[in-house]
């Protein structure tokens, strides 16, 4: 009786019920037609976008504690050319250096991945999702976060060709967009060349759902068949972002006027207001920082300023205050969008990668990374002054990682390590140095299995040798090991949520998971994506433009 009482509430879609009963959809045929039409429109819509696409793969081996663990990895970063289908333009050596991948080709002994195979997973079927190719069966209803969905099983009809999608789709119940699909092309097997995958789309605005995250895996390290065939089991994650780069930085410019300067702004003249040589040098350095960060943000490699930057800057401020530092101009923090673990400084701007922030287990470990980069600032390790000239940040996107490089010399790194430890000793984060050391020990342990994850694009590698340095003033010894339920490092995606439309980053606000079992302690590992989907009825960019145009209309109509 309880199910009968709540049934009418669940079944109402818009103003009319979609289903008469849970077993028999009243308007099933109309609903399927709308889903097919919307998916075909989605394929055409995506042709106008060229988002960044990043795929990271970990081969797997058996592990007593985790069941399966990373055993080698591959990485690819490029820009998707969706107008051309599933073409990808590699972004510098991030696509060429590591010889990568997608759906595999060749025999197992020479298995090679190609990136287009993973990008294809943003589509259910690029050219044949219709009644003539598929049988679609209604399964039920499910909430994905705040989004109520209809769930269907999808199977290709006989003699419709190879590589058709087999699996399940989730369809939001307002405009009938497919927001998630889980399965494989042509069925998954070790010999088919098709992989299991779970593909998610996020709502970027009214009636706009865009591919954002894909989790895929194939093979089982405990399955004798996988081992006997010589197939290397793997897990992979693919992320897409940078859909709206044409408007990067413009929203703030249209919504408010801000003046940022290292010198106070005054409305009246003074007897002396010339810049001294030191002030001019600082101003030039700031200009170089702004040129660089502006360029990287427009490319989609650097996230716009947001709440994650504020978290990082709060930690930096704590380090400065407890060490009696007065640094001018003010130290700023930014986040690189990539999964690779790296950090660097450009003058007084500290940059940490999203992947690095993701895997840090606590604030103390974050403080250790930031203290090291702050040490570079304190020691005055210079910014490339050529960046102050705007023409030095204008070049073909493919040359980005060849054109920019912010790694420090070994001598500068050694000096920053010693200074960073000094800054931590004088800070409240000194009490967390034990867990900080455990993080670096975990990184050292896994470094051989994840070489591409810890290979930087622009900055410095996070040094595994720091574990020994932190042993000098921490409780655990250099051979310290975390307890079975003590988390030394988080899996990828453990901290930050990405908005693929505006590239905004937000800290995850997940509920505590309670006691962590040994097989759930997964440092630096790939795990499945499961997202709390929400709707954004109005696109914030549209609201900003409308407001700006309204303001202009008022100005033009003044007598």
Residues 432, 483 share a domain: yes
Residues 308, 202 share a domain: no
Spatial CA neighbour of 200 closest among 86, 309, 124, 103: 124
The DSSP call for residue 179 is E
Highest mean pLDDT among 179-193, 258-272, 520-534: 520-534
548 compared with 391, residue with greater pLDDT: 391
Query: How sure is the predictor about 105, in pLDDT bands with cuts at 50, 70 and 90?
Result: very low
Number of domains in the chain: 2
119 compared with 94, residue with greater pLDDT: 119
Q: Which of 99-108, 351-360, 492-501, 508-517 has the lowest mean pLDDT?
A: 99-108
Whether pLDDT at 254 is above 60 = no
Residues 379, 428 share a domain: yes
pLDDT digits (tens, 9 = 90+) for 377-397: 999 887 666 665 665 566 666
**What is the rounded CA–CA span in Å between residue 350 and residue 460?**
12
Residues 474, 357 share a domain: yes
Domain assignment of residue 539, yes or no: no
Question: Would you call the peptide bond into 329 cis, given omega within 30 degrees of 0 as the criterion?
Answer: yes
Highest mean pLDDT among 57-61, 65-69, 380-384: 57-61
**What is the rounded CA–CA span in Å between residue 68 and residue 64?**
8
Residues 193, 95 share a domain: yes
pLDDT digits (tens, 9 = 90+) for 266-277: 555 555 567 666
Query: How sure is the predictor about 181, in pLDDT bands with cuts at 50, 70 and 90?
Result: very high
Contact indicator for 186, 192 with CB cutoff of 8 Å: yes
Domain assignment of residue 92, yes or no: yes
Question: What does the mean pLDDT of the chain come to?
Answer: 79
Residues 235, 297 share a domain: no
**What is the rounded CA–CA span in Å between residue 463 and residue 94?**
20
Domain assignment of residue 310, yes or no: yes
Domain assignment of residue 364, yes or no: yes
Residues 283, 238 share a domain: no
Domain assignment of residue 417, yes or no: yes
The predicted model scores a pTM of 0.82
Query: What is the domain extent for residue 444?
Result: 278-520
Domain assignment of residue 516, yes or no: yes
Residues 291, 168 share a domain: no
Whether pLDDT at 5 is above 70 = no
**What is the rounded CA–CA span in Å between residue 317 and residue 319?**
5
Q: Residue 119 CB: number of other CB atoms within 10 A? A: 26
pLDDT digits (tens, 9 = 90+) for 276-334: 666 656 665 677 788 888 888 988 999 999 999 999 999 999 999 999 999 988 999 99
Whether pLDDT at 24 is above 60 = no
Residues 282, 228 share a domain: no
**φ, ψ (nearest 5 deg) of residue 497:** -105, 135
471 compared with 329, residue with greater pLDDT: 329
Whether pLDDT at 12 is above 70 = no
Strand, helix or coil for residue 518: helix
Rg (CA), the chain: 26
Residues 478, 338 share a domain: yes
Highest mean pLDDT among 214-223, 283-292, 331-340: 331-340
Domain assignment of residue 485, yes or no: yes
Contact indicator for 447, 464 with CB cutoff of 8 Å: yes
**What is the rounded CA–CA span in Å between residue 449 and residue 471?**
24
Domain assignment of residue 251, yes or no: no
Distances (CA, A) of 197 to 117, 182, 221: 11, 6, 18
For residue 197, the model assigns a pLDDT of: 95
**What is the rounded CA–CA span in Å between residue 16 and residue 229?**
54
End residue of a domain, out of 243, 267, 289: 243
Residues 120, 14 share a domain: yes
Residues 412, 292 share a domain: yes
């Amino acid at each position: 009786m309880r199910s009968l009482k709540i049934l009418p509430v669940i079944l109402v879609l818009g103003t009319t019920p979609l289903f008469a009963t849970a077993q028999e959809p009243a308007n099933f045929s109309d609903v399927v037609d709308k889903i097919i039409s919307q998916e075909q429109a989605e394929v055409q819509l995506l042709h106008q976008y060229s988002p960044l696409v990043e795929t990271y793969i970990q081969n797997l081996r058996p592990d007593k504690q985790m069941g399966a663990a990373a055993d080698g990895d591959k990485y690819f970063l490029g820009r998707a050319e969706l107008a051309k289908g599933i073409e990808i333009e590699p972004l510098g050596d991030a696509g060429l250096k590591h010889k990568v991948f997608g759906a595999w080709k060749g025999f197992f002994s020479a298995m090679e991945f190609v990136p287009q195979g993973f990008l294809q997973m943003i589509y259910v079927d690029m050219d044949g999702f219709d009644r003539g190719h598929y049988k679609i069966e209604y399964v039920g209803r499910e909430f994905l976060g705040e989004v109520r969905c209809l769930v269907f099983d999808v199977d290709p009809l006989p003699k419709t060709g190879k590589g058709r999608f087999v699996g399940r789709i989730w369809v939001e119940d307002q405009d009938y967009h497919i927001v998630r699909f889980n399965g494989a092309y042509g069925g998954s097997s070790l010999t088919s060349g098709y992989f299991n995958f779970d593909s998610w789309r996020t709502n970027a605005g009214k009636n706009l759902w865009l591919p954002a995250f894909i989790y895929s895996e194939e093979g089982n390290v405990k399955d004798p068949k996988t081992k006997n065939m010589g197939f290397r089991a793997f897990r992979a994650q693919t992320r897409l972002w940078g859909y709206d780069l044409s408007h990067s930085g413009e929203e703030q410019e249209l919504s408010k006027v801000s003046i940022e300067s290292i010198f106070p702004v005054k409305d009246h003249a003074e007897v002396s207001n010339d810049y001294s040589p030191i002030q001019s040098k600082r101003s030039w350095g700031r200009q170089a920082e702004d040129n660089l960060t502006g360029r990287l943000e427009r490319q989609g490699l650097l996230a716009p300023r947001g709440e994650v930057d504020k978290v990082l800057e709060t930690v930096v401020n704590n380090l400065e205050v407890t060490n009696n530092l007065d640094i001018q101009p003010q130290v700023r923090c930014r986040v690189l969008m990539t999964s690779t673990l790296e950090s660097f400084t450009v003058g007084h701007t500290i940059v940490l990668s999203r992947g690095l922030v993701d895997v840090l287990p606590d604030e103390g470990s974050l403080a250790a990374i930031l203290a090291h980069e702050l040490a570079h600032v304190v020691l005055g390790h210079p910014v490339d002054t050529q960046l102050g000239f705007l023409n030095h940040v204008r070049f073909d996107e493919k040359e980005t990682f060849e054109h920019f490089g912010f790694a420090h010399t070994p001598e500068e790194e050694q000096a920053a390590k010693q200074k960073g430890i000094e800054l931590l000793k004088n800070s409240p984060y000194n009490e967390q140095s034990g867990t900080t050391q455990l993080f670096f020990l975990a990184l050292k342990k896994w470094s051989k299995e994840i070489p591409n994850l810890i290979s930087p694009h622009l900055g410095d590698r996070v040094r595994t040798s720091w574990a020994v340095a932190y042993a000098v003033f921490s409780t655990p010894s250099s051979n310290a090991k975390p307890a079975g339920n003590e988390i030394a490092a988080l899996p990828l995606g453990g901290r930050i949520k990405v908005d693929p439309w505006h590239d905004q980053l937000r800290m995850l606000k997940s509920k505590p998971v309670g006691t962590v079992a040994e097989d759930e302690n997964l440092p630096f590992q790939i795990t499945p994506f499961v997202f709390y989907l929400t709707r954004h009825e109005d696109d914030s960019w549209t609201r900003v433009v409308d407001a700006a145009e309204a303001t202009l209309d008022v100005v033009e109509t003044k007598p």
